[in-house]
């Protein structure tokens, strides 16, 4: 009788330890996964803010200058293309993030061209509405960079956690997989050539 009580006690302690290991690891993975999803939502939020500024910027430029139609069309088309690329927060794979980043990169390039060409129009440089939109866009670009950095840090913490032992054994069992990262744009490692 005494021996069976000891065996039951040992089994209960072992069961409790196994339960705590599984529950604690699972809960930590859920917390880290939700953190990554929250950071992704902030990335999308900042990109959406930029998307919302573009129609006002295009209309201001269109109304203030005899503008190159091709440049405006490129911005509008790039915006439309970028809005088509959505990434499910449960599928933040490197491939999906790359597609998202490429679409946003095309929009960034088109916006850059738009802002460069506007330098040739003194009327625009004096237009208060345009200057405010330009300043807001610059602030949004900075917030996008911060949101991307925060997302990469959260993804790195999550990926590191699920690759450690014993989490690596449990991550696959519970359906957790590594998250992708934002990468620097191609050619970003080279300094731009400036000619006067």
> In this structure, what CATH number is given to the domain that contains residue 158?
1.20.1440.20
Q: Quote the domain boundaries for residue 151.
A: 2-174
User: What DSSP string runs through 147-171?
Assistant: HHHHHHHHHHHHHHHHHSTTHHHHH
196 pLDDT tier (thresholds 50, 70, 90): very low
Task: Indicate whether 192 belongs to any domain.
Answer: no
Query: Residue 22: is it exposed, middle or buried by C-beta count within 10 angstroms (0-12/13-18/19+)?
Result: middle
User: What residues contact 25, with CB distance under 8 A and at least 6 apart?
Assistant: 166, 167, 170
In a domain, 108, yes or no: yes
Q: What angle in degrees, to the nearest 10, is found between the helix axes of 2-64 and 167-174?
A: 70
pLDDT of residue 45: 92
Residue 183 lies in a domain: no
* 184 domain-assigned: no
Q: Does residue 193 form part of some domain?
A: no
Predicted confidence (pLDDT) at residue 42 exceeds the cutoff of 80: yes
Q: What is the pLDDT of residues 160-190, one digit of tens each?
A: 999 988 888 888 888 898 998 888 766 444 4
76 or 31: whose pLDDT is higher? 31
For residue 21, give Cα distances in angstroms to 33, 128, 134, 161, 188. 18, 60, 52, 14, 44
CB 137 within 8 A of CB 111: yes
Whether 195 has a pLDDT exceeding 60, the answer reads no
Q: Is residue 196 part of a domain?
A: no
Residue 190 lies in a domain: no
Q: Would you tell me the crossing angle of helices 128-163 and 2-64 to the nearest 10 degrees?
A: 160
Do residues 90 and 68 touch, judged by C-beta distance below 8 A?
no
Work out the pLDDT band at 147, boundaries 50, 70, 90: very high
* pLDDT reported for residue 44: 92
The pLDDT tens digits for 9-18 are: 888 888 887 7
Q: Quick check: is 187 in a domain?
A: no
* Domains identified in the chain, total number: 1
């Amino acid at each position: 009788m005494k021996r069976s009580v000891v065996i039951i006690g040992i089994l209960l302690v072992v069961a409790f330890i196994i339960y705590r290991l599984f529950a604690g690891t699972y809960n930590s993975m859920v917390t880290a996964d939700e953190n990554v999803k929250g950071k992704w939502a902030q990335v999308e939020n900042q990109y959406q803010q930029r998307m919302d500024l573009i129609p006002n910027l295009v209309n201001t430029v269109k109304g203030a200058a005899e503008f190159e139609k091709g440049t405006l069309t490129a911005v509008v088309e790039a915006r439309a293309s970028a809005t088509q690329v959505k990434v499910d927060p449960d599928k933040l794979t490197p491939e999906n993030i790359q597609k998202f980043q490429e679409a946003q990169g095309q929009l960034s390039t088109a916006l850059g061209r738009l802002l460069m060409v506007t330098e040739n129009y003194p009327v625009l440089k004096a237009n208060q509405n345009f200057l405010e939109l330009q300043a807001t866009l610059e602030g949004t670009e900075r917030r996008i960079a911060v949101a991307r950095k925060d997302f990469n840090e959260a993804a790195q913490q999550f990926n590191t956690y699920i690759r450690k032992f014993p989490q690596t054994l449990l991550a696959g069992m519970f359906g957790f997989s590594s998250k992708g990262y934002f990468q620097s744009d191609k050619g970003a490692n080279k300094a731009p050539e400036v000619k006067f």
